[in-house]
Amino acid sequence: MAHATARLTSNKPDHRLRDGVRDGHFRADLYHRLSVYPVRIPPLRERGDDILVLAGHFLELNRSRLGVRSLRLSEPAEQALCDYSWPGNVRELEHVVSRAAIKALSRGAARNEIITLATELLDLCYLRPAPATPPLADAADTSPAIGRPPPRLSLQGQVARAQRRAIQQALEATHGNWAAAVRLLEVDPSHLHKLASRLGLKSSKPSCEPI
């Protein structure tokens, strides 16, 4: 007899399962067996700092899969990703990046050059729902709109974006040579490779390129 270990997960909110138990649509004994330690995973739209990190990871996956020298996002494209609501969460982000890379190649981008994905390749205007009519301003709210901080501009996210841009510019200036980029950025080689992996700019596999 073969034995197997399985793990069952549910992507339904816990309150829906509880409602199902209450309404008789879900077995109470099964619910209590499964509900050992519920973990809430916030949607991608609530994890603004993760969007560009995940996008960088998907860029690296597509770079390897498509056999191109380098894939990157333009600054407006990065901002468009951060502003989008992502109803399809991480899987939608993965597909958006993959489609953009394929479209860039289909439009004549050379595989041996650095390919920059522009905003129009993301098709986010097509995916974005029509904006709702803004509600009338509350008469009691007299605070000026000017000076309010824009959304999703945390310090951590801005630092990560600046680091990613600096590494990309160094690689572009050195034609993708990591050793030369290390010297240009004046950083420790191991730190640069770890940082680039964390930002999704390169695979986490150890590099054979000498530093």
| Per-residue pLDDT at 174 | 82
The secondary element (H helix, E strand) that includes residue 72 is strand 70-73
Q: Which residue has the higher pLDDT, 35 or 121?
A: 121
Residues 44 and 41: their CA atoms lie apart, in Å, by 9
- Cβ atoms 81, 121 nearer than 8 A: no
Q: Which residue has the higher pLDDT, 125 or 208?
A: 125
CA dist 67 and 70 (Å) reads: 9
Give residue 167's region: left, alpha or beta (phi > 0; psi -120 to 50): alpha
Which residue in this structure is represented by tokens 């509350």? 138
Q: What is the pLDDT of residues 146-203, one digit of tens each?
A: 444 455 556 777 778 888 888 888 888 888 888 888 888 888 888 888 888 888 777 6
Q: Which residue has the higher pLDDT, 110 or 135?
A: 110
Q: Encode pLDDT of 9-64 as tens digits.
A: 665 565 677 788 888 888 888 878 877 777 778 888 888 878 999 999 999 999 99
Task: Report the C-alpha gap between 59 and 56 in whole angstroms.
Answer: 5
* Structure-token match 């010297």, residue found: 183
pTM equals 0.55
Indicate the pLDDT class of residue 137, thresholds 50, 70 and 90: very low
